[in-house]
């Protein structure tokens, strides 16, 4: 095949996955172009958002030396269970995480993605903004480029990093249209909270941050709330399984508003001023529902490859995006040397990815998404635990029983013991 190529590699999407691939390729001197439909990197992107410091450090060494790279490093993780007028929180204060490269850092995507894109540009990658890739260019069964409007751009390899709405992955015949039950809708509000007030409210020192996952009080819809602290804003949101939401005939914006009526949330957001509203779908099908990761002339990375993990304690996408982008970049460098861009060579990407933490984590937690579809986790369990604490702590003038006896009695009285037992077995098997 003798094609004239404009670039060695064309990457669709300048999010963390696409940029991480571009950076890896550009650093190796490969002619790389990134096509981004937004006005800038991150303009279309919605996340919690936090990512792991050690992973970012691999991609941009000593990233923390640059003030614009992140908002706060995470030292506190809270898990909260909500029920009507009650809440129970586990508060893990982990000061060991306060050392570089930091365990986790919070980011604001339009800021972070732009910062990362700048790194790729400095390394020599070209980033075309305001450029929507509508289709792939084929030569027989081989992808040989991308199409934007009337423009055609030919490349030896195309890396699809288009995000969760993976239209091009379908066009590349690497996936069928996915099912709603494997996706969640995330709605998010960003609040302005002056730095001093934030640090007082959340007991943080300068640059320290907190993340909080919140289960329950979501109308029995699998999902949960979250908040992350940035420098002087709070990212707050609610994630809902879209299949259950629509089957229950509940309107998403209303479920979100009612969630915010809980006193736990109200206190959190008191006097904070909302400055942005956003929403996005989240692939939650996990390992079993990933598309094919490679084809003739094409590789798939990040959310476009459904590389998102929801294991309750962790809901991660950016880490896998960064890692899969890097691995795809490394694989592409080797593939380009062979001058063969068919599946015979592009399969190298999957082989390499299998060795990465991203693929291994998704595999380890492959049963988690199914487990977290169990509605008991979002209704019965928060009710049971918050109720139990109320029972143990309430003093109504009667002599008390021993704590353990009282607790066992309470759990028995709430019933559903067999299902609770099954749930525990499920947790042990999947998490």
**In contact, 157 and 21? CB cutoff 8 Å:** no
Residue span binding another protein (CB under 8 A) among the ranges 33-41, 347-355, 381-389, 401-409: 33-41
Among 60, 123, 204, 279, binds another protein (CB under 8 A): 279
Q: How many residues does the chain have?
A: 431
Beta carbon nearer to another protein, 202 or 359: 202
Q: Is 72 in the site for another protein (CB under 8 A)?
A: no
Give me the least distance between CB of 41 and another protein, in Å please.
Answer: 11
Q: Is 152 in the site for another protein (CB under 8 A)?
A: no
**DSSP track, 189-249:** EEEE--HHHHHHHTT--TTEEEEEEEES-STT-SEEEEEEE-SSEEEEEEEEEHHHHHHTT
Q: Which stretch binds another protein (CB under 8 A): 175-183, 212-220, 289-297, 378-386?
A: 175-183
Asked if residue 366 lies in contact with residue 311, where contact means CB atoms within 8 angstroms, the answer is: no
Angle, CA of 255, 257 and 263, to the nearest 5°: 110
Least spacing, CB of residue 273 vs another protein, in Å: 5
CB 113 within 8 A of CB 42: yes
Q: Which 216-275 positions form the footprint of another protein (CB under 8 A)? A: 233, 235, 242-243, 245-246, 248-253, 256-257, 260, 266, 270-271, 273-275
Binding flag, residue 276, another protein (CB under 8 A): yes
Q: Where are the beta strands (DSSP E) in 342-399?
A: none
10 touching another protein, by CB under 8 A: no
- Judged by CB under 8 A, the chain residues 119 through 138 that form the site for another protein are 129-132, 134
CA-to-CA dists, residue 165 to 89, 116, 210, angstroms: 34, 22, 29
Side-chain half-sphere exposure of 163, counting CA atoms within 13 A = 21
183 near another protein, rule: CB under 8 A: yes
Name the site residues for another protein (rule: CB under 8 A). 37-39, 42-47, 108-110, 129-132, 134, 148-149, 164-165, 167, 177-180, 183, 185-190, 192, 194, 233, 235, 242-243, 245-246, 248-253, 256-257, 260, 266, 270-271, 273-281
């Amino acid at each position: 095949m003798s094609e004239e190529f404009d670039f060695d590699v064309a990457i669709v999407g300048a999010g963390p996955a696409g940029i991480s691939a571009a950076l890896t390729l550009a650093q190796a001197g490969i002619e790389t172009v990134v096509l981004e439909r937004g006005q800038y990197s991150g303009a279309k992107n919605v996340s919690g958002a936090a990512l792991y410091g050690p992973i970012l450090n691999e991609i941009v060494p000593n990233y923390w030396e640059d003030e614009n790279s992140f908002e706060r490093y995470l030292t506190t993780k809270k898990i909260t269970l909500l029920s009507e007028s009650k809440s129970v929180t586990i508060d893990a204060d982990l000061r060991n995480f306060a050392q570089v490269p930091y365990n986790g850092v919070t980011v604001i995507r339009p800021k972070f993605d732009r910062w990362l894109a700048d790194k790729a540009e400095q390394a020599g990658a070209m980033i075309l903004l305001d450029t929507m890739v509508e289709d792939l260019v084929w030569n027989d069964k081989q992808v040989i480029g991308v199409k934007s409007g009337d423009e055609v751009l030919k490349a030896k390899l195309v890396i699809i990093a288009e995000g969760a709405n993976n239209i091009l992955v379908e066009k590349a015949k690497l996936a069928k249209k996915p099912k709603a039950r494997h996706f969640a809708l995330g709605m998010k509000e960003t609040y302005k909270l002056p730095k001093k007030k934030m640090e007082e409210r959340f007991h943080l020192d300068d640059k320290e941050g907190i993340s909080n996952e919140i289960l329950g009080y979501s109308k029995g819809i699998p999902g949960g709330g979250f908040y992350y602290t940035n420098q002087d804003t709070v990212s707050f949101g609610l994630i809902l399984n879209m299949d259950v939401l629509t089957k229950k005939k509940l309107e998403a914006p209303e479920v979100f508003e009612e969630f915010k009526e809980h006193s736990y949330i109200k206190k959190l957001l008191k006097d904070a001023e909302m400055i942005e509203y956003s929403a996005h779908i989240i692939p939650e099908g996990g390992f079993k529902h990933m598309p094919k990761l490679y084809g003739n002339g094409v590789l798939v990375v990040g959310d476009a490859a459904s590389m998102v993990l929801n294991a309750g304690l962790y809901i991660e996408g950016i880490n896998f995006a960064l890692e899969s982008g890097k691995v795809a970049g490394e694989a592409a460098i080797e593939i380009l040397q062979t001058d063969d861009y068919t599946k015979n060579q592009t399969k190298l990407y999957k082989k390499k990815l299998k060795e990465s933490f991203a693929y291994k984590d998704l595999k380890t937690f492959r049963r988690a998404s199914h487990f977290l579809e169990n509605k008991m986790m979002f209704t019965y369990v928060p009710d049971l635990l918050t109720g139990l604490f109320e029972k143990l702590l309430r003093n109504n003038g009667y002599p008390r029983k021993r704590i353990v006896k009282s607790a066992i009695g309470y759990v028995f009285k709430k019933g559903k013991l067999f299902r609770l037992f099954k749930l525990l077995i499920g947790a042990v098997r999947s998490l």
